[in-house]
């Protein structure tokens, strides 16, 4: 076994807490991950982890070795990146993540094309509407709609995206169309919310004549999948707050109707977010450049082309 591979598994076990999680991250079985940890411990003659039935926690020796191991891997990655940059043939894996809606519509379909262009780069895509912890989960790039809150990260803006409130005609036939944002916070209307553990989206921020204002909206059910919310809205179950490009086709078709256009939701910036050292890696720069151009092109089409045209071009 490669000593460096053993170190990589050790680092991910410390960060993820279990052999199975670290094994999945490194694409090895838990048994292989366990053997690599044992080989490291034999090599150094110390125990690196305290073991319980559910989790591994580093010993004092393990914590000291982890600090040095992270620096070693960073140095190796930077050296490999420098060589790849010089050879103009970048290699290795790049880990990216995106929300489900953006990922399905914009990112996932571009991965094969990116790999065709750069066949020596492996792309590992994770889609989730939860707020993925980039640092602890070893993510190279996260494509997100929102603002940057972590000073340990860097952001490259891709484009500004308008948001819209909308619902199905059947819902408004039954409940009426709200004439003011304040009507959204009454029991008369159901708002469909994106929620997950640690979610902050328990309110909608709208642009009012008095400025940006938060409205603590609610409804009978919510989901951690934004596409589920869209389907519920299409089924006449409530009002959604979505990026315009995600629902423009349904608005064009008349299956969703925009409301409160004079007080729309605050827009959001589509951006690539990454740990600041990762951008030195040519693989990271390449995939950000590639996906940024792709997102701008596809969103532009979604916002300007009629639904029928989009369907013919994608057929």
pLDDT tens figures, 37-70: 888 888 888 898 888 767 788 898 888 899 888 8
Q: Residue 106: give its domain's CATH number.
A: 3.40.190.10
Tell me, yes or no, whether 257 and 110 share the same domain.
Answer: no
Tell me, yes or no, whether 183 and 234 share the same domain.
Answer: yes
- Residues whose CB falls within 8 Å of the CB of residue 141, separated by 6 or more in sequence, listed in order: 94, 95, 96, 97, 272, 273, 274, 278, 284, 287, 288
Residue 63 structural domain? 3-86
Q: Residue 212: give its domain's CATH number.
A: 3.40.190.290
Whole-number pLDDT of residue 84:
58
Tell me, yes or no, whether 154 and 180 share the same domain.
Answer: no
Tell me, yes or no, whether 177 and 255 share the same domain.
Answer: yes
Average pLDDT over residues 103-124: 92
Tell me, yes or no, whether 258 and 220 share the same domain.
Answer: yes
Tell me, yes or no, whether 71 and 106 share the same domain.
Answer: no
Number of C-beta neighbours around residue 258 at 10 A: 14
CA-based nearest residue to 230, from 207, 205, 253, 208: 253
Tell me, yes or no, whether 172 and 221 share the same domain.
Answer: yes
Tell me, yes or no, whether 214 and 274 share the same domain.
Answer: no
**Would you place residue 85 in the very low, low, confident or very high pLDDT band (cuts 50, 70, 90)?**
low
Which pLDDT tens digit goes with each residue over 205-231? 999 988 899 998 888 888 888 899 999
Among 52, 70, 86, the domain boundary falls at 86
Which pLDDT tens digit goes with each residue over 260-304? 999 999 888 899 998 876 556 788 889 999 999 999 999 998 888
Which pLDDT tens digit goes with each residue over 233-268? 999 999 999 999 999 999 999 999 999 999 999 888
| Global confidence as pTM | 0.67
Q: Residue 20: give its domain's CATH number.
A: 1.10.10.10
Number of structural domains (the chain) is 3
The two beta strands, 141-145 and 211-215, are unpaired
Which stretches within the chain are classed as H helix? 3-16, 19-26, 30-44, 60-87, 100-102, 111-117, 169-175, 226-234, 244-253, 282-304, 307-314
Among 86, 101, 122, the domain boundary falls at 86
Tokens 């315009």 -> residue: 244
Whole-number pLDDT of residue 1:
52
Tell me, yes or no, whether 283 and 137 share the same domain.
Answer: yes
Average pLDDT over residues 133-146: 85
């Amino acid at each position: 076994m490669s000593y460096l591979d053993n170190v990589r598994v050790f680092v991910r076990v410390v960060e993820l807490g279990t052999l199975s999680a670290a094994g999945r991250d490194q694409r090895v079985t838990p048994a292989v991950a366990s053997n690599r940890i044992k080989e490291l411990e034999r090599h150094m003659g110390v125990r690196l982890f305290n073991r319980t039935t559910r989790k591994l926690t580093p010993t004092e020796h393990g914590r000291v070795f982890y600090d040095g191991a992270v620096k070693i891997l960073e140095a190796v990655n930077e050296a490999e990146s420098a060589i790849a940059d010089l050879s103009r043939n970048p290699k290795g894996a790049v880990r990216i993540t995106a929300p489900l809606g953006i990922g399905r519509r914009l990112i996932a379909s571009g991965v094969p094309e990116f790999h065709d262009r750069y066949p020596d780069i492996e792309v590992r895509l994770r889609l989730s509407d939860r707020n993925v912890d980039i640092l602890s989960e070893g993510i190279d790039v996260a494509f997100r709609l929102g603002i940057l809150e972590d000073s340990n990260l860097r952001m490259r803006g891709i484009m500004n995206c308008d948001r819209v409130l909308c619902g199905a005609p059947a819902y408004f036939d039954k409940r009426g169309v709200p004439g003011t944002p304040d009507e959204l916070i009454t029991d008369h209307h159901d708002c469909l919310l994106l929620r997950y553990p640690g979610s902050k989206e328990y309110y909608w921020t709208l642009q009012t004549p008095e400025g940006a204002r938060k409205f603590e909206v609610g409804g009978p059910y919510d989901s951690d999948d934004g596409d589920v919310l869209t389907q519920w809205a299409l089924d006449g179950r409530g009002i959604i707050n979505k990026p315009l490009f995600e629902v423009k086709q349904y608005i064009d078709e008349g299956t969703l109707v925009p409301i409160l256009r004079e007080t729309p939701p605050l827009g959001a910036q589509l951006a690539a977010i990454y740990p600041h050292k990762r951008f030195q890696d040519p693989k990271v720069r390449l995939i950000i450049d590639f996906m940024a151009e792709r997102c701008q092109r596809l969103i532009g089409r979604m916002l300007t082309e009629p639904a029928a045209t989009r369907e013919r071009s994608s057929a």
